[in-house]
């Protein structure tokens, strides 16, 4: 038996229970991994609250982690016992041990710690599909990124800057503005006291930006549209403030023939080939030093409820990981 954080019903952080569970033995195509760290992401909140349904209750939540392969089932060729591995978009991460489809595991290269891997897989692969596939950021672009001091935000600021873009980012405080600036954000906007649309228009000489990357959702959606230049692209990839309310497609026409996409990471790493391509590029850009992955907060796995409270209260910056017992380094 091992321990895991499970939900037995939807609700606030208090529904996260520290349960004893049986991780099982690996079946065909599966690997059993002993986890060292699990990543904290807003999708975990969506699963906890029921915004994104889980297959069945009770459920171990969490979509990102790193550890060591302890056993493999029949037909597994992707990993071997003893490999350091990481994964994302595989529900069940808040556990000391777990079974994972081996086709969703990638080997962690030397030079990247387990903590970094657990902090970067979901967030880093998200940034990869945002800035390399949905809107291939290029030198000379000016982009707008919401939540620039968050886990995805800090990686995105660095990666976009590495690609030659000018980065405008929204943050909630002066401290977060300095953090974003230190990670490549050219123009942090403190949305609690500044008008985001006016600042973006001033920074672009009234033109607006060609793309907005918006993980906030309901609170920022319409303002994001107003920041776009004609035929600009709105990338709504999260709901940190709640789901975007229904609206008429005519709004996109009225605001300049805008484009809108609501992507998910699962779609962009849906095949083994896509997963390999995304993680190879992610590991390369981190190992080169162009993007630094820093773990800003660490909690013991059993304290996941407090980690959720801090995440939802905007008390966290950058990446947060949940550490397994005895795995503090």
pLDDT along the chain (329 residues), means of 10: 96 98 97 97 94 94 97 97 97 97 97 96 97 98 96 96 98 96 98 97 98 95 98 94 91 98 96 97 98 94 97 89 73
C-beta of residue 254 within 8 angstroms of C-beta of residue 222: no
Output phi, psi for 163, to 5 deg: -80, -5
Q: What is the pLDDT of residue 12?
A: 97
Say if CB 209 and CB 168 are below 8 A apart.
yes
Distances from the Cα of 264 to the Cα of 33, 44, 126, 268, 325, angstroms: 25, 14, 8, 7, 32
- The answer to whether 40 and 16 are in contact (CB under 8 A) is no
Please give the Cα distance from 180 to 161 (Å, whole number): 12
> According to the model, what pLDDT value does residue 274 have?
97
Predicted pLDDT at 1: 87
Q: What's residue 329's pLDDT?
A: 39
Sheet architecture: strand order including 59-60: 16-21, 2-7, 59-60
Answer whether CATH 3.40.50.720 is correct for domain 122-266.
Answer: yes
Return d(Cα 127, Cα 213) in angstroms, integer. 10
Residue 327 has what pLDDT? 52
Tell me what pLDDT residue 314 has: 85
| Contact indicator for 105, 79 with CB cutoff of 8 Å | yes
How much is the pTM? 0.91
Q: How far apart are CA 135 and CA 222, in angstroms?
A: 20
User: What H or E segment, with its residue span, contains residue 179?
Assistant: helix 174-182
User: Domain ranges in the chain?
Assistant: 2-112+294-323, 122-266
How far apart (Å, rounded) are the C-alpha atoms in residues 169 and 40?
A: 22
What is the sign of the dihedral through the CA atoms of 184, 185, 187 and 190? negative
Answer whether CATH 3.90.180.10 is correct for domain 2-112+294-323. yes
Do the domains 122-266 and 2-112+294-323 match in fold? no
pLDDT digits (tens, 9 = 90+) for 75-127: 999 999 999 999 999 999 999 999 999 999 999 999 999 999 999 999 999 99
CA distance 131 to 316: 24
Q: Which residues contact residue 284 at a Cβ distance below 8 angstroms, ignoring those fewer than 6 apart?
A: none
């Amino acid at each position: 038996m091992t321990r895991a954080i499970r939900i037995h019903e939807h609700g606030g952080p208090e529904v996260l229970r520290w349960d004893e569970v049986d991780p099982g033995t690996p079946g065909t195509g599966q690997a059993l991994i002993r986890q060292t760290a699990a990543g904290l992401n807003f999708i975990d909140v969506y699963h906890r609250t029921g915004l994104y349904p889980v297959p069945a209750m009770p459920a171990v939540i969490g979509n990102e982690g790193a550890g060591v392969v302890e056993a493999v089932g029949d037909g597994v060729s992707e990993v071997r016992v003893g490999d350091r591995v990481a994964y994302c978009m595989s529900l069940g991460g808040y556990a000391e041990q777990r079974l994972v489809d081996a086709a969703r595991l990638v080997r962690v290269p030397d030079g990247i710690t387990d903590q970094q891997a657990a902090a970067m897989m979901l967030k880093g692969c998200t940034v990869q599909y945002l800035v390399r596939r949905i809107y291939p950021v290029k030198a000379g672009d000016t982009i707008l990124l919401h939540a620039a001091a968050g886990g995805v935000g800090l990686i995105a600021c660095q990666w976009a800057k590495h690609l030659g873009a000018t980065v405008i980012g929204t943050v909630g405080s002066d401290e977060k503005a300095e953090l974003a600036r230190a990670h490549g954000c050219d123009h942090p906007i403190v949305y609690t006291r500044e008008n985001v649309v006016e600042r973006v228009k001033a920074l672009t000489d009234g033109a607006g930006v060609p793309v907005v990357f918006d993980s906030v959702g309901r609170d920022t959606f319409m303002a994001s549209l107003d920041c776009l230049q004609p035929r600009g692209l709105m990338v709504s990839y999260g709901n940190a403030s709640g789901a975007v309310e229904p609206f008429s497609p005519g709004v996109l026409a009225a605001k300049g023939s805008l484009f809108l996409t609501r992507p998910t990471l699962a779609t962009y790493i849906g095949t083994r080939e896509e997963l390999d391509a995304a993680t190879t590029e992610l590991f390369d850009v981190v190992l080169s030093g162009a993007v630094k992955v820093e773990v800003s907060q660490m909690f013991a796995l059993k304290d996941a409820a407090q980690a959720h409270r801090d995440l939802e209260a905007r008390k966290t910056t950058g990446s947060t990981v949940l550490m397994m017992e005895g795995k503090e380094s």
